[in-house]
Amino acid sequence: MNTSIVEKINEQISNLTNLGLREEIVPNNNFTFIQWSNGTESWFINRLSTNYYKERTKEKIAKLDANELVVPFNIEQVEQIIDQLINLPLYQNSFERKIR
């Protein structure tokens, strides 16, 4: 287990406290898009967005929703730790979670 990767991603996740779209610069090299699912109460790798931005050679600014995040690690690294990530704060404090 790579705790430093988990800690860095969890720090990014803990900042996802506002609803709505935001823009983020996509790193040039290693990166992976992850997305929170309320249905499964878990993070998953968004391979479509990851592949799309890997193919772009010019401006790499992603418009992300409140449940999306681009992390500075490759897919293989993220696959190994994704089950150890904290819940999305917006979901953790939501009415939807409380009624389950």
* Stretch 4-31: mean pLDDT: 94
Q: How far is it, in rounded angstroms, from Cα 88 to Cα 90?
A: 6
Q: What is the pLDDT of residues 61-99, one digit of tens each?
A: 999 999 999 999 999 999 999 999 999 999 876 555 555
pTM of the full structure = 0.87
Q: In the structure encoding, which two tokens stand for residue 100, read together? A: 């389950």
Element (H, E) at 45: strand 42-45
Q: In the structure encoding, which two tokens stand for residue 71, read together? A: 């992390």
> In this structure, are residues 97 and 62 in contact, taking their beta carbons and an 8 Å threshold?
no
How many domains are contained in the chain? 1
Q: How far is it, in rounded angstroms, from Cα 18 to Cα 94?
A: 12
Domain that holds residue 17: 3-98
